[in-house]
Amino acid sequence: KGPNNKYLFDNNTKAVIGCLSYGTGNTHFNKLLVEMNIPELNWHTYKTHEMEVAKKVEYVARENCMAAAIQERKLTIENAAKLENFL
């Protein structure tokens, strides 16, 4: 569910994910839809789904960064002797 406890349409969310992946926004996406004779996606609907996706992307990015930092610390401790030889 999105803001106001309304259900979000899965296709709209997938469309926004695709736009974010390719670096396009609502305007470029709507130009594509118009050429395909498909009704445009309202900017408010786009932003609603964009905020939903952004929260999840940020969560995954934080988790991956934390995992990488933990692994880097572990490897640094394991290879401390080798690192001292470089200094």
- What integer pLDDT is reported at residue 8 of this predicted model? 59
First vs last C-alpha separation in the chain: 54
Predicted model pTM: 0.64
The amino acid at 44: H
Domain residue limits at 20 = 3-86
As for how many domains the chain has, the answer is 1
Among 50-54, 63-67, 77-81, 82-86, top mean pLDDT goes to 63-67
pLDDT in tens, 3-62: 667 665 688 889 999 999 999 999 999 999 999 999 999 999 999 999 988 998 899 999
Backbone angles phi, psi at 8, to 5 degrees: -95, 140
Mapping DSSP onto H, E and C, the string for the chain reads CCHHHCCCCHHHHHHHHHHHHHCCCHHHHHHHHHHCCCCCCCHHHHHHHHHHHHHHHHHHHHHHHHHHHHHHHHHHHHCHHHHHHHC
